[in-house]
Structure 1
Amino acid sequence: MHPTVLLDASRLLSRTERAAPTGIDRVCLAYAEWLIAHPQYRMVPVRARKGQLALVSNDWFRERIKDLRTRWNGLSEVQDRPQDTALLQALSTPLRPAQSVRSPLPVTTETRKKRHVARQFFRARRTALPPAMAYINVGHTGLDEPGLLTSLQDAGIARLLMVHDLIPVTHPQYCRPGDDAKHARRIHHALSLGSHIIANSAYTAAELERFASGLNLPRRPVEIAHLGLESHLGQAEPLVTSRPYFVHVGTIEGRKNLAFILNVWRTLTEQMGEQTPSLVLIGRYGWENEAELAMLHRCPELQGRVHQAEGMSDRLLTRLMLGAQAVLSPSSVEGFDLPAVEASALGVPLIASDIPPHRELVGHARLIDPQDGFGWMSAIKDYSIQKPEVPQYTAPDWARHFAIVDERILKPLATLHQQR
């Protein structure tokens, strides 16, 4: 009998209608696919509901996973959406109005059917969980209340929890009001009630240690396992445009330091005129982004030169990154920064802020202080004229990530489970 592993699917189930995933969404999907295919464990999907876990239909969940993978990859698409076509045309036609391409999925009959299924699913009553060896939560969902982890602990089920960052705690100015206290509760419960912690970077692990020391919390085993990349990454042709452009991938929010970059671009237009490269911001609108939105929509110098899009398939995103002079990652703070790693894996030049996660993961990039306006302008000008060669880069991958989780956590747990 294969040991049972409970996978918390709460975050994935809340994303069933999203056109494009966040970085944490990708991690949740990768774990689901890994456990579904694993020959030694029986994966049972569950979701958090009022501080307790409820079973998810295995067949229903597997169909949702297949659907998300197909939709998010976008590799089977033949034609771009009208919004994407408009963006591509804008990159070849200077001085057009700035593009803001926000594109939720169309409400088709199939989408309505999925919404109906989801509504029925979330109304389902709680069912007794099967005996299990471990519970895995890699999406932070449900950890702000202690009851869920306490009940698992009382049942003798190991609790494997991934911590992606402590940004709401360490940098609350970049988050919604109240998120700092909520995330602090999550981290407190993870450290006091979790049995194993997975950190996505050494920086995140160090922040966890600092948090635990400050509150005199127990020191749980922390495994550092860098996140992997999508297996289809690079399966696209570079985009060719009539003018050079740069790309930023990520939510448009304060911590991404985009207000700073937009001010850099405004200065570039004053200095370079018609030779100013384009900038493409790919991502949803987030929180604490009033300065960014004011610049995007009201700054005359940026009109036709800066474009924003969201809901983009991985296929088109890969094309945009491959064709760019460079990917920009000017963030003030990150836990991992998946787009920066993806750009490096694709062989795309990267200009990134000089912060600990970037030094750890993409030290080969052109690293610049996140507030050094002259440094960023110089780098962008240089890369506009000549796209530099990128040194050989060995990207982290899911095989190594899951080897750490399996060898150091799950297999020892399975041995103990069999001895009981």
Structure 2
Amino acid sequence: MRILYDASRLMSRADRSAPTGVDRVCLAYAEWLLASPNVTTIPVRGRKNRLVTVDPDWFRRFVVDLRAKWNGAAGAAGDRSHEARLLTALTAPNRPTASVLGAPPAPVQARPADKARVFKQFFRSRHAAPLPDADLYLNVGHTTLQDPTALQDLQAAGIARVVLIHDLIPVTHPEFCRPGDGDKHRDRVVNTLRHASQVIVNSAYTGEELQAFARRENLPQPPIHVAHLGLEPAFAAGDAVAAPRPYFVHVGTIEARKNLALLLTLWRRLEERLGDRTPSLVLVGRYGWENEAVLDHLQRSPNLQGVVHQASNLSDAVLARLMRGARAVLAPSSVEGYDLPAVEACAMGLHLIASDIPPHRELTPGAELIDPLDGLGWLDAIERASTADASAPPACAAPAYTAPDWTAHFAIVAGAVGLGAASPLASAAKAL
């Protein structure tokens, strides 16, 4: 089996010491394919709306190095120093005088070009050579899809096209995204529906949104398969950060749809009531877009100083320990396609307070679900969790909850592309 794996997004993340949810999926697929003994993985990337091959030996080393970096084995010194300051603040017996915050996002025009990433993307690939013969093209990162040329070329060559769609949020909720992202993502979705052989979605909700979009736009619907995403090994039972004062954690990019402005407004109310007894809040994630309200709270609110902290680029090991020590993981998003951190929290048996939206009802049934507009309901839940017996078992620890895993995910993918239960890919999935 010869598979063209679109590594465009993964290669663009070469400089990052911590992944987003989509980045995790891209890496998991790369590892799965490379571990399959009877599969030839041919890494490719997009260049001028066409696909070019990437040096396979270099790509294999790149995947190993990226896994080590994201696991925390090769973190930058600056990241480690930031982790240490955050843990010191959380474990201090008294409220710190100042918050631990990462550097604010630089203006786009002031950001320097990343020469290392450019090198990896453009000089580890063959610019003009035709693609080798292959059976299947696999794209799980949304890249290369905004123009139909690559998919059309593959279709003309008789190569099956399998695409994973993570969400339709830029199309259905463009107000939460950067200007122009809605049109760009709409093009990706349209091209996928017109030219993909099979589509994988990460949740039933995403599948329903994709089908509804196809009906509205009178577009064809290739077979759509729901495959819940697996979790990294770090997000299992293990040790926790031991803090003398209660704290809560939110994990995710700091952007408007995460509803963090509401969360910070609630924390200000808590601080007005409790003063130095206010529980801490840690926002773990990179700065995204439409985040001005969050930045104003973090940088300018005196009530939140020493109480609310922000961190990015945490290793998986530190992040998992941080989540395990929290009174609850908070997920107040207005809209999600999957919400991997919420699923990770339930997999670790943690108390999860989440917005009452379709993906959370589907994926985290043991969570305490509250309408994302119900500020008083959220305030009550946080106060109850901060004063509850920390040793009491949370709802997500219920025996009925079974966390999704990559074995089941890749078995669905193998079946979707006609590989069968005894195929090399399905066997590799079972071995993970």
The TM-score bracket by the shorter chain reads over 0.9
Work out the CA distance in 2 between the residues paired with 1:370 and 1:382.
18
- What's the counterpart of residue 86 of structure 2? 87
How many residue pairs match? The answer is 405
- What's the counterpart of residue 109 of structure 1? none
Work out the CA distance in 2 between the residues paired with 1:119 and 1:60.
11
CA contact (8 A) 1:246 1:278 kept: yes
1:408 shift after superposition? 2.7
Per-residue deviation, residues 91-117 of structure 1 (Å, max 9, x unmatched): 12414212112499xxxxxxx995585
- What's the counterpart of residue 229 of structure 1? 231
Work out the CA distance in 1 between the residues paired with 2:233 and 2:134.
30
Work out the CA distance in 2 between the residues paired with 1:184 and 1:78.
37
Matches within 5 A, 1:17-416: 17-74=15-72, 81-91=80-90, 92=92, 93-102=94-103, 117-118=119-120, 121=123, 124-234=126-236, 236-386=238-388, 387=390, 388-390=392-394, 391-392=398-399, 393-411=401-419
CA contact (8 A) 2:140 2:163 kept: yes
CA contact (8 A) 1:236 1:315 kept: no
CA contact (8 A) 1:235 1:315 kept: no
Q: Taking structure 1 as reference, are residues 397 and 214 closer, same or farther at Cα in structure 2, changes over 3 Å only?
A: same
Work out the CA distance in 1 between the residues paired with 2:192 and 2:232.
27
Work out the CA distance in 1 between the residues paired with 2:363 and 2:42.
33
CA contact (8 A) 1:256 1:332 kept: yes
Q: Taking structure 1 as reference, are residues 351 and 103 closer, same or farther at Cα in structure 2, changes over 3 Å only?
A: same
Q: Please give the secondary structure, in 1, of the residue aligned with 2:320.
A: helix
CA contact (8 A) 1:20 1:311 kept: yes
Greater alpha carbon shift after TM alignment, 379-388 vs 6-15: 379-388
1:122 shift after superposition? 5.8
Work out the CA distance in 2 between the residues paired with 1:260 and 1:103.
20
RMSD: 2.1
Work out the CA distance in 1 between the residues paired with 2:288 and 2:154.
33
Q: Taking structure 1 as reference, are residues 245 and 167 closer, same or farther at Cα in structure 2, changes over 3 Å only?
A: same
- What's the counterpart of residue 12 of structure 2? 14
Letter in 2 for 1:405: V
CA contact (8 A) 2:168 2:206 kept: yes
Letter in 2 for 1:33: E
CA contact (8 A) 2:17 2:76 kept: no
TM-score, with structure 2 as normaliser: 0.90
CA contact (8 A) 1:160 1:198 kept: yes
CA contact (8 A) 1:96 1:304 kept: yes
Q: Taking structure 1 as reference, are residues 101 and 217 closer, same or farther at Cα in structure 2, changes over 3 Å only?
A: same
Letter in 2 for 1:389: P
1:234 shift after superposition? 3.1
Q: Taking structure 1 as reference, are residues 405 and 115 closer, same or farther at Cα in structure 2, changes over 3 Å only?
A: closer
Per-residue deviation, residues 323-370 of structure 1 (Å, max 9, x unmatched): 000100000000000000001111111000000000000011000000
- What's the counterpart of residue 426 of structure 2? none
Q: Please give the secondary structure, in 1, of the residue aligned with 2:137.
A: strand
Work out the CA distance in 1 between the residues paired with 2:74 and 2:320.
14
Work out the CA distance in 1 between the residues paired with 2:330 and 2:303.
20
Work out the CA distance in 1 between the residues paired with 2:39 and 2:230.
21
Work out the CA distance in 2 between the residues paired with 1:119 and 1:39.
26
CA contact (8 A) 1:343 1:350 kept: yes
Work out the CA distance in 2 between the residues paired with 1:32 and 1:103.
32
TM-score, with structure 1 as normaliser: 0.92
Q: Taking structure 1 as reference, are residues 132 and 28 closer, same or farther at Cα in structure 2, changes over 3 Å only?
A: same
CA contact (8 A) 2:331 2:353 kept: yes
CA contact (8 A) 1:102 1:310 kept: no
Work out the CA distance in 2 between the residues paired with 1:41 and 1:5.
7
Unaligned runs of 5+ in 2: 106-113, 424-432
Unaligned runs of 5+ in 1: 105-111, 416-420
Identity across aligned pairs (percent)? 55
Greater alpha carbon shift after TM alignment, 143-152 vs 76-85: 76-85
CA contact (8 A) 1:140 1:163 kept: yes
- What's the counterpart of residue 107 of structure 1? none
Per-residue deviation, residues 300-341 of structure 1 (Å, max 9, x unmatched): 111110000001101110110010001000000000000000
Work out the CA distance in 2 between the residues paired with 1:115 and 1:408.
33
Letter in 2 for 1:4: R
Work out the CA distance in 2 between the residues paired with 1:139 and 1:165.
11
Work out the CA distance in 2 between the residues paired with 1:273 and 1:287.
31
Per-residue deviation, residues 385-419 of structure 1 (Å, max 9, x unmatched): 1234132321000000000011232416x99xxxx
CA contact (8 A) 2:155 2:195 kept: yes
Q: Which runs of 4+ in 1 moved over 4 A?
A: 75-80, 112-117
Q: Please give the secondary structure, in 1, of the residue aligned with 2:324.
A: helix
Q: Please give the secondary structure, in 1, of the residue aligned with 2:123.
A: helix
- What's the counterpart of residue 418 of structure 1? none
